Amino acid sequence: MRGQNVTTVGTFVLAGFPAAARLRPVLFLLFLLAYLLVLAENLAILLTVRRSAALHRPMYYFLGALSSLEIWYVSDILPKMLDGLLLQRRRISFAGCMTQLYFFSSLVCTECVLLASMAYDRHVAICHPLRYHVIMTTGRCVRLVAFSFACGFSISVVKVYFISSATFCGSNVLNHFFCDISPILKLACTDFSTAELVDFVLAFIILVLPLVATVLSYGHITLAVLRIPSATGRWRAFSTCASHLTVVTIFYMAMIFMYVRPQAIDSRSSNKLISVLYTVLTPIINPLIYCLRNKEFKAALKKVLGFGPSTAIETLNRPSVRRIPCVGLL
């Protein structure tokens, strides 16, 4: 990075959780178990979607993309955190810190656009059920997923470029357990208003615009559902969106609390806590939210693992069940 040529700080020190120094072995085991659980859950989703022909449908393609994103996300943050807890190696080079920040920012931005794409999928499924398989083709799903990753990784290039171009001197202690934008900029010893402005503008584009698209999609979905005459039909239609809507709510609540809250209520301890909840807990619960009550997915998973009858998927895909193409994730 160009910023590396002008900075007097060659390495950062991740402060981590100094208040919990005596609990490091316990924290290491907890975070290690969490990391392994995230990997196991999301790899199971990827394997099941790949090996089950009945799941080769748009909503499961998006779910597979989200699972891949979650694996990369925790792998960007948790290994370094675990190394710091176990071996006390809390130093990270300037280039390494910028690299971690780049992938963290890219994956968060990608998730914004991907969640909006999934909202569009639910919109087409409920508002245009007879044309669903015509509109949401495999090619379109691939393009939407590719667009999500392209937006996230390209926007983050600009953000990290301006952040890395700031001058850092004096203290090199980063009061966080990973390289995030706000703790890094607090160590800058020159004017970083340009970096903050660029970060704000790009954050608005990548956070607010997908959120608006998601809200509009669910506005149309609500109007379509209210026109369904039977209460059973309305509940069935709403249930197809419940999982996605829950994940969207959790994601944006965490983003707002971490990056949009007023400075008056800013707290480094609470910021770390919310970061832990978002970077560790959310990747654990997202697969459960999407798959725990999904009978079709559970049947496919049992078949892949060899625990279910070979006819489980065929039973679920009889015409009486598949006549509604907008059956969702719950």
**Domain harbouring 149, CATH code:** 1.20.1070.10
How many Å apart are CA 202 and CA 33, to the nearest integer? 35
Question: Residue 224 in contact with residue 244, Cβ under 8 Å?
Answer: no
Q: What is the DSSP string of 200-212?
A: HHHHIIIIIHHHH
Residue 328 lies in a domain: no
How many Å apart are CA 235 and CA 303, to the nearest integer? 29
Backbone angles phi, psi at 13, to 5 degrees: -115, 120
Instruction: Tally the domains of the chain.
Output: 1
How many Å apart are CA 239 and CA 322, to the nearest integer? 16
CB contact set of 117 (below 8 Å; sequence gap of 6+): 62, 144, 145, 147, 148
Higher pLDDT, 213 or 267: 213
Average confidence score pLDDT of the chain: 82
Residue 209 lies in a domain: yes
Higher pLDDT, 22 or 139: 139
**Can you give the residue range of the structural domain that contains 217?**
2-322
Residue 327 lies in a domain: no
Residue 330 lies in a domain: no
How many CB atoms lie under 10 A from the CB of residue 271? 19
- For 287-298, the pLDDT digits (tens) are 888 876 677 888
pLDDT at 256 over 70: yes
Q: What is the mean pLDDT of residues 103-125?
A: 93
Residue 12 lies in a domain: yes
CB contact set of 131 (below 8 Å; sequence gap of 6+): 124
Residue 85 lies in a domain: yes
Residue 167 lies in a domain: yes
- Portion of the chain with pLDDT greater than 70, in percent: 85
In the structure, what pLDDT confidence band is assigned to residue 167 with cuts at 50, 70 and 90? confident
Q: What is the mean pLDDT of residues 278-289?
A: 86
- For 47-104, the pLDDT digits (tens) are 988 888 888 888 889 999 999 999 998 999 999 999 988 888 889 999 999 999 999 9
pTM for the full model? 0.83
How many CB atoms lie under 10 A from the CB of residue 50? 13
Residue 282 lies in a domain: yes
